[in-house]
């Protein structure tokens, strides 16, 4: 039995969600890890555990991108949050 048309997204929205999940999630996870490395005094420990926590966070952000209804909104949220965290890192450094 096919899905209802009202629950399906267009190909443009699907492409936006995929790109937001992969690229936007990557940028956001990087910004958060840089923020944590600058805020806490134990920088080396943060950078040593970053590959594991980065991957977990990135997967969670990819899943959140697909749960959103609008690809543009999730791109905006990820980019604004990334710029916010990178701005704080820039100000602190």
Integer angstrom CA distances of residue 77 from 61, 73, 81: 11, 6, 6
pLDDT in tens, 32-55: 999 999 998 888 888 899 999 999
Q: Rounded distance, CA 32 to CA 12, Å?
A: 28
Q: To which residue do tokens 């890192």 refer?
A: 89
Question: In percent, how much of the chain has pLDDT > 70?
Answer: 94
pTM of the predicted model over 0.95 = no
Distance in Å from the first CA to the final CA of the chain: 57
Q: To which residue do tokens 């555990």 refer?
A: 49
Residue 85 has pLDDT above 90, yes or no: yes
Q: To which residue do tokens 């950078």 refer?
A: 47
């Amino acid at each position: 039995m096919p899905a209802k048309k009202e629950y399906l997204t267009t190909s443009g929205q699907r492409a936006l969600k995929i790109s937001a999940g992969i690229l936007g999630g990557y940028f956001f996870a990087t910004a958060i890890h840089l923020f944590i490395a600058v805020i806490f005094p134990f920088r080396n420990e943060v950078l040593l555990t970053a590959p594991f926590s980065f991957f977990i966070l990135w997967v969670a952000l990819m899943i959140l991108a697909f749960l959103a209804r609008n690809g543009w909104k999730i791109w905006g949220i990820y980019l604004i949050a990334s710029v916010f965290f990178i701005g704080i890192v820039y100000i602190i450094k």
